[in-house]
Amino acid sequence: MNFDKTSNPTLGEGIINRYASLATDRAMTVQGAVNKVALLLALVILGATFTWSKVMTAAETGAVPVQGWMIGGSIAGFILAIVISFKKEWAPFLSPIYAVCEGLCVGSLSAYFELMYPGLVMRAVLLTFSVMFAMLFLFKTRVIRATQRFRAIILTATIGIALAYFVTFIIGLFGVNMSFMYGGGSLGLIISLVVVAVAALNLILDFDFIEKGAEAGLPAFFEWYGAFGLMVTLIWLYIEILRLLAIVANRK
């Protein structure tokens, strides 16, 4: 059974075609993937609650908030994401650890934004889940279809954004100011809106992978892998919405 590729970097090209023929005692199901998404989301919230309280406590006592949890969680999450992408059968074991690590990073980051812009985090959370359910509705009603052209466009945009992040980071190491990319100016606002839109459209591809993976009878561990891919996109979307709201708040 031939299925089109997906543009989400964590899901990769030809995964369904490569694994669909494997015989297993239990195959992947959509409900199984949904259950795994719920579990990973709970672990992200657990990790985020821990670092959120750390930063807020430090702020209340006048201590300097330590960014170690955010940096450590981010690095560990990135490494785990790379490993899971190459060793998909390890997803049931590593995805929960990835979720906790990303939670540590997201919790710290959210707390810093909340200290600067009170009430911002709750709006970002509500917007993130609103976008996710809106994308799910558009996918289920087939208003947006994950066609080959759609995948190609989102893949190109996602890779372009990743390269822009990388180049900006490298140039920043040499002291070059790239604030126009992330500042509160009109260009920064437009860039942020575009990135949020691309992240949101990546959710369509995640939903499509889970649905088609279940139809193809992929091995059960792909429930974890599909949930992991969706969680990567969801965390990216949340961070970008958080940044977008901060830009808007800074312009007032």
Query: What confidence tens digit (pLDDT) does each residue in 89-134 have?
Result: 999 999 999 999 999 999 999 999 999 999 999 999 999 999 999 9
In-domain check, residue 16: no
**Percent of the chain whose pLDDT exceeds 90:** 63
Question: What's the CA gap between 211 and 62, in Å, rounded?
Answer: 50
In-domain check, residue 244: yes
Q: What is the pLDDT of residues 3-24, one digit of tens each?
A: 334 445 445 445 666 665 555 5
Q: What pLDDT, on a 0 to 100 scale, did the predictor assign at position 73?
A: 92
Q: What pLDDT, on a 0 to 100 scale, did the predictor assign at position 6?
A: 45
Burial (CB count <10 Å: 0-12, 13-18, 19+), residue 94: middle
Q: Is the pLDDT of residue 154 over 80?
A: yes
pTM for the model: 0.87
Q: What pLDDT, on a 0 to 100 scale, did the predictor assign at position 58?
A: 85
Q: What pLDDT, on a 0 to 100 scale, did the predictor assign at position 252?
A: 65
Q: What pLDDT, on a 0 to 100 scale, did the predictor assign at position 79?
A: 95
In-domain check, residue 109: yes
Contact 223, 36 (CB under 8 A): yes
The more confident residue out of 216 and 153 is 153
| Cβ neighbours of residue 141 closer than 8 Å, sequence gap 6 or more | none
In-domain check, residue 5: no
In-domain check, residue 172: yes
Q: What is the mean pLDDT of residues 144-161?
A: 92
Task: Please name the residue ranges forming H helices in the chain.
Answer: 15-19, 30-61, 68-86, 91-116, 120-140, 148-173, 179-182, 186-216, 222-251
Q: What is the mean pLDDT of residues 135-162?
A: 93
Burial (CB count <10 Å: 0-12, 13-18, 19+), residue 56: middle
Q: Mutual orientation of helices 148-173 and 186-216 as an angle, nearest 10°?
A: 130
Q: Is the pLDDT of residue 198 over 80?
A: yes
In-domain check, residue 6: no
In-domain check, residue 9: no
Q: Is the pLDDT of residue 71 over 80?
A: yes
Q: Is the pLDDT of residue 2 over 70?
A: no
Question: What's the CA gap between 50 and 142, in Å, rounded?
Answer: 39
Q: What pLDDT, on a 0 to 100 scale, did the predictor assign at position 171?
A: 77
Q: What is the pLDDT of residues 31-69, one digit of tens each?
A: 999 999 999 999 999 999 999 998 998 888 766 566 788
Contact 95, 228 (CB under 8 A): yes
Q: Report which listed range, 129-143, 147-161, 180-194, is most confident.
A: 129-143
Q: What pLDDT, on a 0 to 100 scale, did the predictor assign at position 4?
A: 39
Q: How confident is the model at residue 173 (pLDDT cuts 50, 70, 90)?
A: low
Q: What pLDDT, on a 0 to 100 scale, did the predictor assign at position 49?
A: 95
In-domain check, residue 157: yes
**Structural domain of residue 121, as residue ranges?**
26-251
The residue assigned the tokens 């075609």 is 17
What the block records as the tokens of 111 is 């707390």
Q: Is the pLDDT of residue 1 over 80?
A: no
Domains: count for the chain: 1
Q: What pLDDT, on a 0 to 100 scale, did the predictor assign at position 217?
A: 85
